Chains A and B, each alone.
Chain A
């Protein structure tokens, strides 16, 4: 599995309130919510993002509220992968559970600038910066989490294992 696209870069501590403000959470419609993705810190994001693009953040990406709407709107907006120095733990869980690929890689975040063309190989964890001719290596997921991702998210993985006899 691979991704390639241009980069939207954000600072440390991007919180879920700016990813999708709570004033819109009276809806669960992913397409409708995605129209407001990042609007409080980057109103242009939704007009510029193309399918396959890559979002890059600093430390503690996705901090704050547990709203699963946050990784969901990023995924629905077309972003193929989020790379950050670290992720807030609930966002990390949610991204895995809903099938939004995320990678932790400090060197990549330091090396990549907004607008760079970047390719990601999820099997090897290698991130290639095509604009700058640099490679970075992300930590691979532990096998337990790879199983969830392979199954297409948590609910599918539970069903594969026999669920609650449903």
Chain B
């Protein structure tokens, strides 16, 4: 029986010729990741178990991104604990304030993750790196601790759902609309335990930023991972960027998929997920009566350069609606600097927005944009659960950067194709 792309990567990293769905394997890891919330818990487990060495100091990544620059004393203590561990074990990819970015924007940008890799991260959105043709999945802190110590992790080999992409996205429709549309179709557990394998002639038209965004939210459909084939877009992205040689795995022609779902990219509309689940999708047009208090553009889902550009093209030369708070967060220092050089930050400020250094802050209700009772936010982040961005009676509407920027101008949810 043939294997999917995910199964092939897992088989190779487990030293096996073949794996089957449901099989439990131990696989070798190319990269291990944690952040300032999950790494301290992993360090405690690592130390409690009595380990005194890491498997490879060049393959462990610790990124301070959730609560930095630190929002309070307790979060500062957690960052300090990460810093001390990174110093003690000479962790090469330790990213502190000034060098950091939001982890899933940073690692691909820096060429740390590459095609053919097997990666775990103690952050659910680690599934992002499937965009470059890697197997990558989120785990907990104990898995991170074990991964740092041994360079191995256990996996149950996933079955797969194939998404056959055809056509091409229309203007002001992006990867975010694709993944919200898919989650709306299959539900928040529609791909539970499974791989989401994106294939078909439509793949070629999707930029790397679109693919990173699509794979990022695979977890919001319950998936173990999302993955794209390696094509010219991938090779162009990795060339001059990937720090290691990459390896291309392709699904066998007779690979088995539980089902195939057809997605016509040309038919996808700007899409919005209403509270309190990402599967509650509506078109932006259907959402136009919803007034908003705050707009957040950023996060590991949509903090990349194309996201900033989409926001810039809509906000430039205009001002956001009275009473709306606009918060724009470039995902990495490199994205921030490029926005600065391009004059986009000035346009954001002139439009009445604030621009923050990279942080996960508002997405998870940490800081930098917490909502009060009854407030509504349209956000390019990934979750709209009860209390996710603040008060339990606040509401988060998930959307693309273009839809969020258009909504900032009008003060209510707006189809981005309806503004100049």
Please list the residues of chain A having a beta carbon within 8 angstroms of any beta carbon in chain B: 13, 15, 17-18, 21-23, 25-28, 40-41, 59-60, 63-69, 86, 88-90, 93-94, 97-98, 142, 144-145, 153-156, 158-159, 163-166
Contacts and interface: CB of A to CB of B under 8 A. Distances in A.
A144 B24 contact: yes
A98 B188 contact: no
A43 B279 CA distance: 26
A99 B146 CA distance: 15
B89 interface: no
B306 interface: no
Interface residues of B, number: 53
B277 A13 contact: yes
Interface string B103-120: 000000000000000000
B72 interface: yes
Nearest to A21: B387
B124 interface: yes
Given A41-B386, A60-B188, A164-B55, A68 B74 contact: no
Contact of A155 (B24, B146, B188): B146
B189 A97 contact: no
21 contacts: A18-B387, A21-B387, A22-B364, A23-B366, A60-B189, A64-B385, A66-B122, A66-B138, A66-B139, A67-B38, A86-B189, A90-B124, A94-B140, A98-B140, A144-B154, A154-B142, A155-B146, A158-B150, A159-B49, A166-B51, A166-B52
Interface of B: 24, 37-38, 40-41, 44-45, 48-53, 55, 66-67, 71-72, 74-75, 78, 122-124, 126, 138-143, 145-146, 149-150, 154, 188-189, 192-193, 219, 222, 224, 277, 364-366, 383, 385-388, 392
B189 A13 contact: yes
A65 B139 CA distance: 9
Nearest to B187: A60
B123 A66 contact: yes
Nearest to A72: B41
B146 A154 contact: yes
B55 A66 contact: no
Given A166-B52, A166-B149, A155 B37 contact: no
Given A17-B388, A68-B141, A154-B142, A89 B44 contact: no
Given A18-B385, A155-B49, A63 B189 contact: yes
A17 to B, nearest CB: 5
